[in-house]
Structure 1
Amino acid sequence: MQRLDGRLVLSPTDLTHHQECRHLTRLDLGVAAGEWAAPETETTDELQLVFDRGVAHEKKYLESLRAAGKTVAEIDTVFYAAGRRRAEAETFEAMRSGVDVVYQGTFFDGAWGGQADFLLRVEVPSSFGGWSYEIADTKLARKLKVAALLQMATYAERLTVLQGVAPGGIHVVTGDGVSRPWRLVDVAAYARRARARLEAFTTAPPSTAPAPIAYCDQCRWAEKCTTELRDADDLGLVAFMRGDHRDALRAAGIPTLAALATAGPEQLAASGIGADARTRLQQQAAEQLRERTTGVASRTLLDPVDGLGLLRLPPPSDGDLYLDFEGDPWFEDGAGIEYLAGIGDRSGGFTALWAHDRPAEKQLVADLIDRIVSAVRADPAMHVYHYAPYEVTALKKLTGGYGVREAELDQLLREERFVDLYPVVRQSMRISKESYSIKKVEAFYGRSHAGAVASALGSVLEYEAWLEDGDQARLDGIEAYNKDDVDSTRELHDWLEQQRAELEAQLGPLPRPAVSVVAPDAKVTEAQAAEQELTDRLHAVGHELLGRPRRLAPPRGPAGVVGGLPPAGLRRRGAGGGRDGAGRAVLRPVRGAGEAQPAVRVRVSGAGHEGVLRWRRAGRGHREAARHGGGARHRDMSTRPQDDRCRAAAAARARSGGPAEHRESARRDPGHRQGRAGQPGLPRTGTGRAPRSRGNALAAG
């Protein structure tokens, strides 16, 4: 925001800031009014990287429009009043001339101003003629965010005035280059209310005070606000203090951390916070107050609760492993990549698995899971330790995304091989720190980080720099940092075992989780084995039905598949004549498919009975497999070519016969096998089960 010609001018960025923090608006308003100066803060490496990536994404989209033959008018960005009016006039003339794209079009009505990334011509009549314009903004994020919609809805308000008709849609071009449309009517009313709230705030600014929120990490006023919070001993300094709890405690006459640590039970109860939550917060405040008073970090062990805290620790084993990932969320325009997985053992050994592209990332997760599976075979009592859920989340994403080692990871998860030490710490003790990040917890077991890379963000920035200059020393620094994290996780595990021993010395033996080796579900894995062999055969002959090759679970159990594959042009005939002499279903040529081809039978054996999978080719790649265990008992299955897990689940249900009520409805309902628009043979509903499943910120000054 800024003052032009004696009037306050707001921007869409001011609007999104106000949505995040009213105190931020008050501070910016003071700068515009000359009450105080803006903070002199240097642009951090992270913000500079995000800004550079945002500009590059914007330019890339601009070049794609030009490459598509679009005519482009580019408007210069200025911030003084006369220049803004001239820039809007240029924007208006460009639109009136019918140019395909207006880049950095300026809007300014004396009260609001800003620059839209792109104005795109659409063939909808307006005051210009048979065309009008819609707004598009480029954002690095892969998902739509409210802030982007608010910005564009604000531009749309002025665009409506200029062209005489409201744009039908707004578009966010995300980091993957996809233009994601949004109906303006779905956000316009919300944006108007948000603008009205901001205008009312700036007209009569209320008194505000800092409050710690997530946006503080990227705010230019963060240092000033943090100083004020510490000077005031604000409740927001207490670890895990929620905003609503902070407000409730202040309303109950408990405004500071020290007051919370010493408050009586009646005063705490008056806050209306639940008993467990207020006890936890008071314990945490007392622990932090103790370090502030003594200057020494402290921790207090809590009474053990079955299945929580230190009682979550399984027995230590020589085969235990320690895992830490390094990921770059900005890789490939925001697609992200897990570029390093570090894994260490009890002896201090360390292995770094690197990935700099998609094939290497796929190999990374396969190699990592293979190492863990091999470790389990060598030591069935082993576990994999990590801190916070990122590692397991990354493994699920990678195995599912690439379709590799999914069954192996599922087996490891079912056996509870992964142990997250973060909830162990949080549930078993109170520490005298404002955060429970591993970097803070390290103070209790004497570890600190040194070197060129000293934080997760530093690792990302170094990796981004390596992508530009290829300096191997950068990768060496990242690997050394990752090894430090892996070693720290091992040392944390040892320290937690010491805390557990201390607790046992006071209370006696404590239970541990049982080490369980869970057998795979035989029915499911047999179906997967049968399905995998069918999939392999189809891929081997170049069949297009299944899409790209993808492996299912490794075959397990005594299942097998015998028989051939359905040649092109074959489909199942009707129930009356589609059987051989033994009563088994056969495939016959589809009318008009050419010369008759031999009938094909595909048999699936196992689970105490055998059935016949009947295949057909119809429509756009649909297929059907029906199991006949005798008579009329059957089941339709329409499976998606891209979803092997869905096929496996469908085969498993077919082999078990499926729910009795479904089989009965299949016999009763004559439309059960009807396709779209009554076309026979095209499955209508299938099995009835679904598969499991910053850019360039605007500124007005």
Structure 2
Amino acid sequence: MQKLGDDSWVISASDLSVYAQCPWRLARVADEKLGKSVTVPKIDDPMMLLVARLGLEHEDRQLQLLKKNVGTVVEIDYRRGDSSDVALWRASITAAAEATRGALGSDAGAIFQGVFYQQQLPGTDLKVGFQGFADFLVKVNQSWEVWDTKLARRAKDTALVQLAAYVDQLHLLSIATSESVHLVLGDGTHSIHLATDHLEDYFTMREQVVALIEERSLDIGPLPWRDERYAACGTKGCPACSEQVAIHDDLFLIAGIKRTQRDKIMVAGFSTLRDFAQARRDEVRRHVTGISRDTLFGLHLQATLQLETRDNPENRPAWEVTSSSILHNIPAPSPGDVFFDFEGDPTYQEGEAAGGGPDGAPEDDEPVWFGIEYLFGLWGEGIGAPEVDPHFLPLWAESFEEEKRSLEYFCALMTARLEKFPDMHIYHYASYEKTRLTVMAKRHEIALACVERLKDGVLVDLYSTVMKGVKVGLPSYSLKALEALYFEPNTRSGIAGGGESVVAFSDYSQAVASDDQATAQRIKSSILNYNRIDCFSTQALRDWLLEAAKNPRV
């Protein structure tokens, strides 16, 4: 969304995507551009920067393929002008749009970074136009197809609406346009759709965004939080919402709450976490409708514990056992127990830009040749090398072939350990480890029997135990958050989360490629240390849960 120096506006397909995800965020952005003394915070996320870089690399691979397969590819050169200098800005984008139009009438086989510019949208008195930047326009049987590259593994509606917007621009230019649009997914496969299936969605969302700008332009003040005209997503990844949720002690702070549940609790008169937590249970039950009794009481207990934790920062987080039977179902400790954690890069792939495995695209819904588990972390008695760390065994993989060897070694090790300790279990936190073991076994066509055996009662997901057995007064139930129950402050240092680990692995790979061994070793050591703490933390959580079962707070 841009506001030019002459008070006109220009929107793009990305603005429609933001609106689809969080109308309140887009309204807040409009207020910022209208000079209403508000600023939408920027989230500094290294993972987003990595994804952006990988997206450009994915785009470049498709460009090279098109140059190889279709002959002439016209690359549109667009240098954005300063939006405060309206004449210069319009001259710049108009020149690029005209160059695109000229290429569409040429013998070119494809156009890279085609530019569209519609100075005035129809059906409104607001001075608002549309700008679009198509990754690729590809000639097929004398008509043009819109292609866009996405790192995602599956097509998303917002991406298809974006393609429909570019199809509409081609129609306005009276260009022969294919009925099909292509999303070139992260594994190189093409997700093909009918453009007409999403044109109405595009027109509807465009009208809604224009109406939003009109309304915000007429409103002198900034949009207040909880304004019912624009729904807020309330997610942690939304910079506009995250700021306001904290400022207003919003119910979104309650771990696990859904937006519909939040709305029903607010209608009942409880607008903040503190209001809700301090209300009596019978009062909550009497006033809140549309939420089942058990669910409502669970949310109320969660809010109460979070408030207790917040009001007593010098203490460990507040907690209560909600199901003693769930905690008592945790297997008895065995000297053979293993605590397991993967580090994986979901963006990793090998081979040709077309993607897929060596034998082509995989069957089933899961594209198994996309993403690598670059570290199998194992913690347990005597599992590591005595001279290095007897409790920690890291299995490192920098390629699919090395990942295969890690899986083989892991399964052989676990099989031997089960023979020695038949009562052992492998503990992990959340479903990722179990899911990825299955994916890798299918990918490499090895260890299928071993993985099935581990899934049949050997693997124990502590996340399921926590979610069914206890309530903890924290806004998150991530393993890192729960460490406040049993770790001392500052136990962790260096890499702080899974996203940072993925970025670190990418940096490591680049250091290896440039033969910077010192940097590569430093980064690898930081990843290993991060994973080691994760594995140890999983054991510490298991032990804490066993103690909670003995001394429950109910």
Q: Given the alignment, which residue of 519, 529, 532 partners 1:483?
A: 532
Secondary structure at the aligned position of 2:152 is classed as: coil
The one-letter code sitting in structure 2 at the alignment partner of 1:157 is D
For residues 136-194 of structure 1, the C-alpha deviation after alignment (integer angstroms, 9 at most, x for no partner) is 11111121111211111011111111134443111111122223221112222222222
RCO higher in structure (CA 8 A, sep ≥6): 2
Specify the alignment match of 1:584 in structure 2: none
Specify the alignment match of 1:294 in structure 2: 312
Give the distance between the partners of 2:45 and 2:9, measured in 1 at CA: 29
Specify the alignment match of 2:335 in structure 1: 318
The CA RMSD over aligned residues, in Å, is: 2.2
Matched, 1:51 2:52: yes
Give the distance between the partners of 2:445 and 2:190, measured in 1 at CA: 27
Give the distance between the partners of 2:339 and 2:348, measured in 1 at CA: 26
The verdict on how the C-alpha distance between 1:238 and 1:37 changes in structure 2, with shifts beyond 3 A counting, is: closer
Matched, 1:337 2:372: yes
The verdict on how the C-alpha distance between 1:164 and 1:68 changes in structure 2, with shifts beyond 3 A counting, is: closer
The verdict on how the C-alpha distance between 1:42 and 1:279 changes in structure 2, with shifts beyond 3 A counting, is: closer
Q: How does 1:549-628 map to 2 (within 5 A)?
A: none
Give the distance between the partners of 1:501 and 1:208, measured in 2 at CA: 48
Q: Given the alignment, which residue of 106, 112, 115 partners 1:97?
A: 106
The one-letter code sitting in structure 2 at the alignment partner of 1:191 is Y
Give the distance between the partners of 2:162 and 2:348, measured in 1 at CA: 26
Specify the alignment match of 2:251 in structure 1: 235
Give the distance between the partners of 1:243 and 1:214, measured in 2 at CA: 8
Offset at residue 228 of structure 1 (A): 2.5
Q: How does 1:67-86 map to 2 (within 5 A)?
A: 67-77=68-78, 78=80, 80-86=89-95
Offset at residue 234 of structure 1 (A): 0.7
Matched, 1:370 2:412: yes
Specify the alignment match of 1:498 in structure 2: 547
Specify the alignment match of 1:117 in structure 2: 135
Q: Retained in 1: the 8 A contact 2:434–2:455?
A: no
Give the distance between the partners of 1:51 and 1:339, measured in 2 at CA: 21
For residues 253-276 of structure 1, the C-alpha deviation after alignment (integer angstroms, 9 at most, x for no partner) is 111111111223244343221101
The verdict on how the C-alpha distance between 1:37 and 1:263 changes in structure 2, with shifts beyond 3 A counting, is: closer
For residues 116-150 of structure 1, the C-alpha deviation after alignment (integer angstroms, 9 at most, x for no partner) is 11111122xxxxxxx23111111111211112111
Give the distance between the partners of 1:475 and 1:214, measured in 2 at CA: 35
Q: Report how many aligned residue pairs link the two structures.
A: 491
The one-letter code sitting in structure 2 at the alignment partner of 1:162 is L
The verdict on how the C-alpha distance between 1:46 and 1:75 changes in structure 2, with shifts beyond 3 A counting, is: same
Q: Given the alignment, which residue of 252, 262, 266 partners 1:250?
A: 266
For residues 337-369 of structure 1, the C-alpha deviation after alignment (integer angstroms, 9 at most, x for no partner) is 000001111466111111111111112112112
The one-letter code sitting in structure 2 at the alignment partner of 1:150 is V
Give the distance between the partners of 2:284 and 2:540, measured in 1 at CA: 41
TM-score (norm 1): 0.67
Give the distance between the partners of 1:288 and 1:95, measured in 2 at CA: 59
The verdict on how the C-alpha distance between 1:39 and 1:285 changes in structure 2, with shifts beyond 3 A counting, is: closer
Give the distance between the partners of 2:215 and 2:394, measured in 1 at CA: 58
For residues 511-558 of structure 1, the C-alpha deviation after alignment (integer angstroms, 9 at most, x for no partner) is xxxxxxxxxxxxxxxxxxxxxxxxxxxxxxxxxxxxxxxxxxxxxxxx
The verdict on how the C-alpha distance between 1:39 and 1:231 changes in structure 2, with shifts beyond 3 A counting, is: closer
Q: Retained in 2: the 8 A contact 1:212–1:236?
A: no
Q: Given the alignment, which residue of 301, 304, 307 partners 2:323?
A: 304
The one-letter code sitting in structure 2 at the alignment partner of 1:394 is R
Offset at residue 427 of structure 1 (A): 2.3
Secondary structure at the aligned position of 1:152 is classed as: helix
Q: Given the alignment, which residue of 447, 450, 467 partners 2:492?
A: 450
Larger radius of gyration: 1
Offset at residue 213 of structure 1 (A): 4.1
Q: How does 1:201-240 map to 2 (within 5 A)?
A: 201-205=212-216, 207=223, 209=225, 213=233, 216-217=236-237, 219=238, 222=239, 225-240=241-256
Q: Retained in 1: the 8 A contact 2:13–2:162?
A: yes
The verdict on how the C-alpha distance between 1:469 and 1:170 changes in structure 2, with shifts beyond 3 A counting, is: same
Secondary structure at the aligned position of 1:446 is classed as: coil
For residues 318-340 of structure 1, the C-alpha deviation after alignment (integer angstroms, 9 at most, x for no partner) is 11111010001111279210000
Specify the alignment match of 2:24 in structure 1: 23
Offset at residue 199 of structure 1 (A): 2.1
Q: Retained in 2: the 8 A contact 1:249–1:268?
A: no
The one-letter code sitting in structure 1 at the alignment partner of 2:318 is R
Specify the alignment match of 1:558 in structure 2: none
The one-letter code sitting in structure 2 at the alignment partner of 1:468 is Q
Q: How does 1:163-182 map to 2 (within 5 A)?
A: 163-182=174-193
Q: Given the alignment, which residue of 462, 469, 478 partners 1:421?
A: 462
Give the distance between the partners of 2:134 and 2:234, measured in 1 at CA: 27
Identity %: 30
Q: Given the alignment, which residue of 274, 278, 293 partners 2:292?
A: 274
Offset at residue 50 of structure 1 (A): 1.2
Offset at residue 196 of structure 1 (A): 2.1
Give the distance between the partners of 1:148 and 1:227, measured in 2 at CA: 27
Give the distance between the partners of 2:309 and 2:422, measured in 1 at CA: 42
TM-score (norm 2): 0.84
Q: Given the alignment, which residue of 381, 389, 406 partners 2:423?
A: 381
Matched, 1:197 2:197: no
The one-letter code sitting in structure 2 at the alignment partner of 1:10 is I
For residues 599-639 of structure 1, the C-alpha deviation after alignment (integer angstroms, 9 at most, x for no partner) is xxxxxxxxxxxxxxxxxxxxxxxxxxxxxxxxxxxxxxxxx
Q: Retained in 2: the 8 A contact 1:385–1:489?
A: yes
Q: Retained in 2: the 8 A contact 1:346–1:490?
A: no
Matched, 1:432 2:476: no
For residues 91-125 of structure 1, the C-alpha deviation after alignment (integer angstroms, 9 at most, x for no partner) is 111111231111111111111111111111122xx
Matched, 1:137 2:148: yes
Secondary structure at the aligned position of 1:204 is classed as: helix
Q: Retained in 2: the 8 A contact 1:26–1:208?
A: no
Give the distance between the partners of 1:133 and 1:216, measured in 2 at CA: 40
The one-letter code sitting in structure 1 at the alignment partner of 2:484 is A
Q: Retained in 1: the 8 A contact 2:112–2:134?
A: yes
The one-letter code sitting in structure 2 at the alignment partner of 1:417 is V
Secondary structure at the aligned position of 2:136 is classed as: strand
Give the distance between the partners of 1:237 and 1:69, measured in 2 at CA: 52
Offset at residue 244 of structure 1 (A): 0.5
Specify the alignment match of 1:593 in structure 2: none
Matched, 1:464 2:464: no
Offset at residue 231 of structure 1 (A): 2.4
Specify the alignment match of 1:569 in structure 2: none
The verdict on how the C-alpha distance between 1:200 and 1:274 changes in structure 2, with shifts beyond 3 A counting, is: same
Offset at residue 39 of structure 1 (A): 4.8
The verdict on how the C-alpha distance between 1:494 and 1:214 changes in structure 2, with shifts beyond 3 A counting, is: same
Return 5+ residue gaps in structure 1 as ranges. Answer: 124-130, 508-701
The one-letter code sitting in structure 2 at the alignment partner of 1:255 is S
Q: Retained in 1: the 8 A contact 2:341–2:376?
A: yes
Secondary structure at the aligned position of 2:319 is classed as: strand
Return 5+ residue gaps in structure 2 as ranges. Answer: 82-88, 120-128, 351-368, 383-389, 513-519
Secondary structure at the aligned position of 2:270 is classed as: coil
Offset at residue 69 of structure 1 (A): 4.9
Further displaced range: 194-203 or 462-471: 194-203
Q: Retained in 2: the 8 A contact 1:75–1:90?
A: yes
Offset at residue 200 of structure 1 (A): 2.2
Give the distance between the partners of 1:394 and 1:449, measured in 2 at CA: 28
Q: Retained in 1: the 8 A contact 2:492–2:533?
A: no
Give the distance between the partners of 1:443 and 1:84, measured in 2 at CA: 53
